Amino acid sequence: MKIQSENFAKAAQKAIADADLQSAVSFGTNLAYTKRKSAVFVSGQDHGEQIRQQAAQIKRHALNNLPQLLEQAEQQMQKNGIKVLWAKDAAEANQKVLEIIQQKQAKKVIKSKSMVSEEIAMNDFLEKNGVQVIESDLGEYIIQISGDHPSHIVVPVVHRTKASIRDTLMQKIGMPHTDDAQTMTHFVRGHLRKEFLEADIGISGGNFIIAESGSLCLATNEGNGRMVTSLPPVHIAVVGIEKVIPTLEDYATLTQMLPRSATGQSMAVYTNIINGPRRKDEEDGPQEVYVVFLDNGRSEIYSSGYTEALACIRCGACLNACPVYRVSGGHSYGWVYPGPIGAVVTPLLVGLNKASPLPNASSLCGSCKQVCPVVIDIPRMLLDLRHDLTKQKKSSKTWKIGMYIWAKSNRSEKWYKMTGRLIKASRYLPISKLPGLLKNWTRFREMPQPAAKSFHDIWQDGLKDEDK
Amino acid sequence: MNDQKKRVNVKGKKVSLFVTCLIDSLFPEIGVATVKILRRLGIDVDFPMKQTCCGQPAYNAGYRKDALSVAERFLYTFAGSEIIVTPSGSCAAMVKHEYPVLFKNDSKNYQRALEIAEKTWELSSFIVDGLGVEKMDGKLSEPCHVAFHDSCHGLRHLKLGPQVRKLISGIQNVEISELNDSDSCCGFGGLFSVKMADVSGAMLQKKIDNIISCKADTILLGDSSCMMNIQGGLKKQGYTKKVTHFALILAEAISNENTI
């Protein structure tokens, strides 16, 4: 997927002017935000906070031991009969998946929702190589037949209204007219059933990997994930290396936090722990299971100052809580991962120079950290990325000079007084439009009139000795 | 995270006012109100004349060297202070939460930064959590219907919100309503408001819509930056609802109260 993050401000401006998008995103994010709150704190504020801290520690502990856990996971998986592959980047991951497909002479692949597969643009690659790829998550399916991209980590079509989805389904797969969401869902379900039965290979992502048992964990709501991983003869899972956690007990905590934070459900409808291919005494399940561990820049993040970003469990809660995401929508972020966590991981995965506006696409309000199930300090990382940005060669000279002057006038008494006098003098100017970038202030706001006397003057002229 | 109760006892200590750069040149009346409130509580207030800004604008924009030079001045200006009180959640959060990060690699100043962070208080938290005063007798001369906007840094870094509600609910002639989404950002975010102008404007619009549909006619908050943003937005659209710092209301109320 072409990275368009440099275009954030313009894309956001367009999104803000799009009334349909605004009402859809606003509805979706508000609903998830409200439901999350009641689900996470269902047993009280303290319990909710404790389980968050527990989840946070599990992920930190897992990251601290990532290399050992990956080795353990590989060994256990192999014991379970899972074939484990490693991919250093997108190209290698796609190539390895294609090789399996070609080896099995497969024609049709059915997928369950996977952000990692978006990250490596797997669908494009497989289609270019003559493989038919069908998305089976309802949202992802709508995205696919619309030629669109997900705008949310959990709710890919959150930017679309029901009416626009209806129109797409009527146009693309001949659905009869209806305004009932359930009827639409049933229609797509019927349509997809055939695809499931015809598919040669199922491809999924993975929410967690349990190292001690070599298990692949998936949380889905529509049942498609279970069909993808059990119906076709071959199942391939592509998973980021940061998904490994030590034990089943850790999973018990995280599998509560994920759906509660994502959609406000106490459990996902389908909670799958996959331990390997069909065993001799079993009647169903795939004959072969592959797990492709993807690095794609993660080990670089791991050894940078941004390791914490890898703790993310992709629940999307920070998107729903973020006032910037709520008005900008996910596509404005210009790549795969939107919202606050996207503003952190996009520059880290694709390079700061290709996503330079993103660290600044935040008012630093802190809502993201407040809702994060693993307490990732996103505002702190955005601040660090902003600092990195100022050290880049192409960073703005204007800002650099402006900041230098600002610092100078706040460092010396003489300069501070002089600036104060300038501000004061401006109180009689009829300022309705400021010059330069500052005109952006007056586009939406009046300017306050500077005071006739600064607090320094008021104090010195008598407040100091009043009432004493 | 920030358990105010465990902090050093502030009773009987002299307070140095950090007025903030915005209040200094644009809204000095908030500084005056703060001094009046503190004096009414029997506190000796001083104002270190060498103070400027806490350094937040440059820090949030990523210019750490510039921020550091201004923050260093803050450390030295307030080095002799027993307690620092500021009528701003955002500037207090900068000193309390960000100074330890900013000075992390500055061995000369790190310890000093930790000490300064420890003795810095936001005004409402100082009164309620520090002094243990939950009610100040006072009366407004005219009935006033208020609601609160919870500014982000105060709310999420310093757990502010309940303190100001307690203080204001003790005043006579005040009716209190809640503002819908009072805890969502007004869109200011410092330089964010000009760098990401349309996004900031859209966030401000949501805040304005909530204020217009709120029963209250006065919105109280504890940060002059958000005040400037929201008030400026309301004025631009011709609305007459007032957005003001809680210190102004509190100071007015106690000046009308003659029983103390």
At residue A183, the pLDDT reads 97
Compare all CA atoms of chain B with the CA of A421 and give the residue at the minimum distance.
Answer: B25
- Whether residue A432 is predicted with pLDDT greater than 90 in this model: the reply is no
Q: With pLDDT > 70 as the criterion, what percentage of chain A qualifies?
A: 99
The mean pLDDT value for A317-344 works out to 98
Q: What are the pLDDT digits (tens) for A65-117?
A: 999 999 999 999 999 999 999 999 999 999 999 999 999 999 999 999 999 99
Out of A361, A369, A406, closest to residue B196 by CB: A361
List of chain A residues whose C-beta atoms are within 8 Å of the C-beta of residue B200: 363, 440, 444
Q: What are the pLDDT digits (tens) for B76-110?
A: 999 999 999 999 999 999 999 999 999 999 999 99
- Whether residue B259 is predicted with pLDDT greater than 50 in this model: the reply is no
In this structure, the answer to whether residues B220 and B145 fall within a common structural domain is yes
Residue B153 lies in a domain: yes
> Of B130, B163, B195, at which residue does a domain stop?
B130
List of chain B residues whose C-beta atoms are within 8 Å of the C-beta of residue A406: 57-58, 66
Fold exhibited by the domain A41-296 = Rossmann fold (3.40.50)
> Of B79, B99, B130, at which residue does a domain stop?
B130
Domain that holds residue B93: 15-130
- Whether residue B209 is predicted with pLDDT greater than 50 in this model: the reply is yes
> Of B82, B103, B130, at which residue does a domain stop?
B130
- B112: tokens are 């000093």
At residue A377, the pLDDT reads 98
**Inter-chain touch B196–A445, beta carbons under 8 Å:** no
Smallest CA–CA distance, residue A375 to chain B, in Å, is 12
Spatial CA neighbour of A307 closest among A219, A210, A395, A241: A241
In this structure, the answer to whether residues B148 and B212 fall within a common structural domain is yes
Residue B66 lies in a domain: yes
Residue B9 lies in a domain: no
Q: Give, in degrees to the nearest 5, the angle at Cα A430 between A424 and A435.
A: 85
Residue B8 lies in a domain: no
DSSP B125-167: HIIIIIS-------EEEEEEEEEE---HHHHHHS--SHHHHHH
Interface check B2 vs A, CB under 8 A: no
DSSP A95-114: HHHHHHHHHTT--EEEE---
At residue A265, the pLDDT reads 96
Interface check A377 vs B, CB under 8 A: no
**Inter-chain touch B192–A360, beta carbons under 8 Å:** yes
In A385-444, the residues whose Cβ lies within 8 Å of chain B are 385-390, 399-400, 403-404, 406-407, 409-411, 413, 416, 420, 423-424, 437-438, 440-441, 443-444
In this structure, the answer to whether residues B123 and B152 fall within a common structural domain is no
Q: How many domains does chain B have?
A: 2
At residue B32, the pLDDT reads 98
Output A254-258 pairs: Cβ under 8 A, ≥24 positions apart: A254/A55, A254/A58, A254/A59, A254/A208, A254/A313, A255/A207, A255/A208, A255/A217, A255/A219, A256/A51, A257/A40, A257/A51, A257/A52, A257/A55, A257/A313, A257/A315, A257/A373, A257/A374, A258/A207, A258/A219, A258/A313, A258/A315, A258/A373
Distance CA B172, CA B169 (A): 8
Residue with tokens 């390895």: A96
- Whether residue A61 is predicted with pLDDT greater than 50 in this model: the reply is yes
**Inter-chain touch A453–B55, beta carbons under 8 Å:** no
**Inter-chain touch B66–A423, beta carbons under 8 Å:** no
A431 falls in which pLDDT band (50, 70, 90)?
low
The alpha carbon dihedral of B68, B73, B79, B84 has a sign of negative
**Inter-chain touch A447–B198, beta carbons under 8 Å:** no
List of chain A residues whose C-beta atoms are within 8 Å of the C-beta of residue B202: 16, 327
Residue B19 lies in a domain: yes
Q: Using an 8 Å Cβ cutoff, are A113 and A225 in contact? A: yes
List of chain B residues whose C-beta atoms are within 8 Å of the C-beta of residue A458: 28, 31-32
- Whether residue A435 is predicted with pLDDT greater than 50 in this model: the reply is yes
Min mean pLDDT across A90-99, A190-199, A310-319, A458-467 is at A458-467
Interface check B88 vs A, CB under 8 A: no
- B115: tokens are 């000490």
**Inter-chain touch A327–B206, beta carbons under 8 Å:** yes
At residue A468, the pLDDT reads 55
In B44-63, the residues whose Cβ lies within 8 Å of chain A are 47, 49-50, 52-53, 55, 57-63
Of A288 and A426, the one with more pLDDT: A288
**Inter-chain touch B232–A360, beta carbons under 8 Å:** no
List of chain B residues whose C-beta atoms are within 8 Å of the C-beta of residue A370: 156
Q: Which residues lie closer than 8 Å to A46 by C-beta, 6 or more apart?
A: none
At residue A467, the pLDDT reads 65
Q: With pLDDT > 90 as the criterion, what percentage of chain A qualifies?
A: 87
At residue A425, the pLDDT reads 83
A440 falls in which pLDDT band (50, 70, 90)?
confident
- A234: tokens are 């071959």
**Inter-chain touch A413–B201, beta carbons under 8 Å:** no
Interface check A362 vs B, CB under 8 A: yes
Residue B10 lies in a domain: no
Of B74 and A394, the one with more pLDDT: B74
Mutate which: A405, A410, A416, A458, vs B, most B CBs within 10 A: A410
Of A447 and A147, the one with more pLDDT: A147
In this structure, the answer to whether residues B114 and B168 fall within a common structural domain is no
The mean pLDDT value for A420-447 works out to 81
Q: What are the pLDDT digits (tens) for B35-81?
A: 999 999 999 999 999 999 999 999 999 999 999 999 999 999 999 99
Q: Which residues lie closer than 8 Å to B9 by C-beta, 6 or more apart?
A: none
Interface check B32 vs A, CB under 8 A: yes
- Whether residue A434 is predicted with pLDDT greater than 90 in this model: the reply is no
B260 falls in which pLDDT band (50, 70, 90)?
very low
At residue B1, the pLDDT reads 40
Interface check B70 vs A, CB under 8 A: yes
In this structure, the answer to whether residues B111 and B190 fall within a common structural domain is no
DSSP A308: G
Q: What are the pLDDT digits (tens) for A20-52?
A: 999 999 999 999 999 999 999 999 999 999 999
At residue A466, the pLDDT reads 83
What CA–CA distances, in Å, run from B87 to A5, A345, B2, B84, B93?
38, 36, 18, 10, 11
At residue A394, the pLDDT reads 74
Q: What are the pLDDT digits (tens) for A368-391?
A: 999 999 999 999 999 999 999 999
Q: CATH 3.40.50.10420 spans which residues of chain A?
A: 41-296
At residue A397, the pLDDT reads 83
In this structure, the answer to whether residues B121 and B228 fall within a common structural domain is no
- Whether residue B200 is predicted with pLDDT greater than 90 in this model: the reply is yes
Average pLDDT over all residues of chain A? 95
Q: Using an 8 Å Cβ cutoff, are A207 and A218 in contact? A: yes
Smallest CA–CA distance, residue A361 to chain B, in Å, is 7
In this structure, the answer to whether residues B153 and B88 fall within a common structural domain is no
Out of A328, A416, A423, closest to residue B199 by CB: A328
CB pairs under 8 A between A and B: 192
Compare all CA atoms of chain B with the CA of A418 and give the residue at the minimum distance.
Answer: B25
Of B253 and B1, the one with more pLDDT: B253
